[in-house]
Chains A and B, each alone.
Chain A
Amino acid sequence: MKNKRRKNQWSAWWFLGPALLGIILFSVFPILRALVMSFQSGSLISMHWTGLSNYKYVIQDPYFAKALQNTALYAFTVVPIGMVISIAIAWNLFNRIKHSKFFEALFFMPYVTSTIAIGIVFRYIFNGQYGLLNYILRFFHLGTPNWLDNPSMNMITVIIFGVWLSLAFNIVILMSALRGIDPQHYTIAKMYGASDSEMFFRITLPQLIPTLAFLLTVNLISAFKVYTSIYALFNGQPGIAGSAMTAVYYIFNKFQTVGTPGVAMAATVLLFLIILVVSFLQNKLLNKVGRR
């Protein structure tokens, strides 16, 4: 019996092998390599050990602090706001719209379109003088902020764009979760006189918790890695005068533009640890809510 099990295990390695090779080559090795590089300095072809000095530099760098601050601001606004809007749209699509499949497809389009391309379109929408957004705001006499060229507006612009970008994926996943809820639950609840909001908060939302936990984790991680949307919105710059600098942008900047890969990797390791801790805490919290 024992022998047989061991034999099974050996053949299992053959099946795992190709995938494992890929993971080691493209995931495990780069992580280790980044870790090693974070203790080294010099250019990519001649690295030498410098101990903790990269970390010291990064921690003391006010730009990194700013980048982290921006990243946290982005993550902790885009994720909850995006989630609430996604739930609202998904619930309404599911409940009230006749051809929900069509709208679902429509909402999913941004997800299959390149962020850079969308970013360019949004540059026009956000444009201070002739942008669509300000045209609408002007129509309702709501003031016309300079979304792209005013440094103090840059993070808000990025956040609005981020919320919009997060909808596509969330809505599609939420729609499938909503379809998974037994329709008889609503029939029953209605028969007992439950109102629409009671049905949503007592029946729908609790049954969405596992899906929400998944989406929040995925959203939060991708929010901490925000980069492309900023690149696209500000024409390859981290906002005006670096006002929309985020952690990944900082890393890219240190690696590519400044040419200090060691510093970039130290920042990478720190970001990795932050994401790890935040998603761990979030999972704990959601488990508690889900079990209640």
Chain B
Amino acid sequence: MIEVSNLNKTYENGYEALKNVNFSVEKGELVCLLGPSGCGKSTLLNIISGLLDATSGDVKFEGKSVLDVAPENRDIGFVFQNYALFPHMTAEENVMFPLTVGKNKKSKAEAREIAQKYMELTHITDIAKKKPGQLSGGQQQRVAIARALVQQPKVLLMDEPLSNLDARLRLQIREEIRALVKEVGITTIFVTHDQEEALSIGDRIILLNNGVVQQADKGQNLYLDPANQFVANFIGNPVIDLFDVQFDGNQFNNEHFNLLAERLADNKLKQKLPAGDYVIGIRPENLQPSTAEMADFTIKVDDIELIGRERILKFYFGDMQYRSLVDIEDQIGAGNEINLRFDMKKAFIFNKDGERVY
């Protein structure tokens, strides 16, 4: 449905916002563009919508390039971060607006009927006569989505649509958005900087950093099989533990532990590792307390954080903090000395350029 190929964007001041971006979105798919602030995700969305011109590369909808098509003819619905509802119109008038302007103007009765349908879909019929100023953030959000859908566009673009809502509402609305988008069957690109949001809402996630696509895959794969150190570090809460190590051809060494290379799963190893500096990444749930004989190293627990049904044991090597995730029933307390063991089958190894080698 949407194909982005070799897309580059360099701003007039020389800033390269996008570097050779490639990805495609299937019809009816809900894809999240995820990345830290300034990674280029909004730039990308604006180029797809036509609000911004690309420097080079192409964007195709259904096989046809849309770069020369004006935004109003691209058949897209857009939801802005701050909704941009018209303050002088009621919710209903806002939803009807796209149907009452431009070439595809409908009769008032017809427009009202279509608006009604989408307002039912987004559960805002009871606030139809209220103006945006009288609506809560969540209600405004729904009005903005209904307005984006009434023209029955092929593509729905959402630019951080949840970031103005409070935490609890955000959870609720993101489920609603997913259900709605799937019900309508519209191809959707959803921009967010919140990995949790992206993991929960997206069929697939395109993770961007510094204008480069780091990985485009299902959320689960981003977590379990990260393409590089950035992805491993960005995805996952609590964040992954990263240890600097030296490899001597036989074992990975650092001042706190030595790990034998034979503990690695051979089939995961992408190439035979030359000796040198590496980074071992391990998810906190794969760094578990163990018996003294099995232990890779011993630490003193500095602090404990409870998250839902799990506890995070925090400890320090120098001033770097590391984490181990244990079950809530575990009785280890702050100040305790414990032994930890790596589950090397599930660890990742990155070279000094951040590329994944294991």
Query: Which A residues are within 8 Å of any B CB, using their own CB?
Result: 182, 184-185, 187-195, 198, 202-203, 206-207, 209
Contacts and interface: CB of A to CB of B under 8 A. Distances in A.
Contacts of B151: 192
B84 interface: yes
A206 B131 CA distance: 13
B61 interface: no
B97 interface: yes
6 contacts: A184-B82, A185-B86, A191-B51, A191-B72, A192-B72, A207-B87
Contacts of A185: 84, 86
B88 A207 contact: yes
A195 B101 contact: yes
Given A202-B100, A207-B87, 9 more contacts: A185-B84, A188-B80, A190-B71, A190-B72, A193-B102, A193-B103, A194-B101, A194-B102, A195-B102
Contacts of B71: 190-191
A192 B86 contact: no
A63 B169 CA distance: 71
A188 B77 CA distance: 9
Interface string B99-116: 011111000000000000
Nearest to B103: A193
A184 B101 contact: no
Interface residues of B, number: 22
B78 A202 contact: no
A206 B94 CA distance: 13
Contacts of A193: 72-73, 98, 101-104
B84 A192 contact: no
Given A188-B78, A192-B101, A193-B104, A206 B84 contact: no
Give the interface SS of chain A, mostly helix, strand, loop or mixed.
helix
A207 B76 CA distance: 26
A192 B82 contact: no
Q: Top 10 A-B pairs ranked by shortest CB distance?
A: A193-B102, A192-B98, A194-B101, A184-B84, A193-B72, A206-B88, A198-B101, A191-B71, A188-B84, A194-B102
Contacts of B286: none
Nearest to A194: B101
A240 B249 CA distance: 109
Contacts of B101: 189, 192-195, 198, 202
A202 B102 contact: no
A206 B72 CA distance: 23
B49 interface: yes
Contacts of A198: 101-102
Contacts of B98: 192-193
A286 to B, nearest CB: 14
B97 A187 contact: no
Contacts of B103: 193
A187 B104 contact: no
Contacts of B100: 202
A207 B151 CA distance: 24
A207 B49 CA distance: 26
Nearest to A290: B88
Contacts of A192: 72, 97-98, 101-102, 151
Nearest to A188: B84
Most chain B CB within a 10 A radius of its CB, from A189, A191, A209: A191
A184 B100 CA distance: 18
B76 A184 contact: no
A182 to B, nearest CB: 6
Contacts of B84: 182, 184-185, 187-188
B132 to A, nearest CB: 11
Given A193-B101, A195-B101, A203 B86 contact: yes
B97 A191 contact: no
B87 A202 contact: no
Nearest to A203: B86
B113 to A, nearest CB: 18
Of the candidates A188, A190, A207, the one having the most CB atoms from chain B within 10 angstroms of its own CB is A188
B176 to A, nearest CB: 21
Interface string B50-64: 010000000000000
A265 to B, nearest CB: 45
Best-surrounded residue of B51, B87, B89 (most CB of chain A within 10 A):
B87
Contact of B78 (A191, A203, A207): A191
B146 to A, nearest CB: 13
Nearest to A187: B51
B263 to A, nearest CB: 55
B27 to A, nearest CB: 21
Nearest to B88: A206
A194 B71 CA distance: 11
A209 B88 CA distance: 10
